Amino acid sequence: MANDRWTPDPMSPVYVYLQVAHHIAEQIRTGRLPVGARLPAERDLAEQYSVAINTARRAVRELRDQGLVITVPIKGTFVQGEKPSSDAPEEREPNA
């Protein structure tokens, strides 16, 4: 990711944090960020993408919500991969 010079478009109707999250998610999907890879620290992400620290934090939170990364306290944020698209519904339904 260090050589990547992509920056979000502040004139876009899409929130900047979502643009950053989508860009990182695309890198995960294409294998540029493999499963197990460590993401830069949020401050480094903010600097890399030329955004505020809170924007970088929201982007990382969005990636966690999508199940693409996992944050381990003190260790960092790591690529987890995509969630399987077909969850078994019977596992989520309460037993009758």
Altogether, the residues listed in the chain come to a count of 96
Whether residue 48 contacts residue 38, with contact meaning beta carbons closer than 8 Å, is answered with: no
CATH 1.10.540.10 fits 16-82, yes or no: no
Q: CA–CA separation, 11 vs 35, rounded Å?
A: 32
Return the pLDDT at 62. 98
Predicted confidence (pLDDT) per residue in 43-96, tens digit: 999 999 999 999 999 999 999 999 999 999 999 999 995 555 544 444 445 554
Residue 12 pLDDT more than 80? yes
CA distance 81 to 91: 21
Asked whether 19 and 8 are in contact (CB, 8 A), the reply is yes
* pLDDT (average), residues 13-42: 96
Q: Is the pLDDT of residue 4 over 80?
A: no
Cα separation, 57 vs 17, in Å, equals 8
Structure tokens of 3?
């050589």
Kindly report the pTM of this predicted structure: 0.79
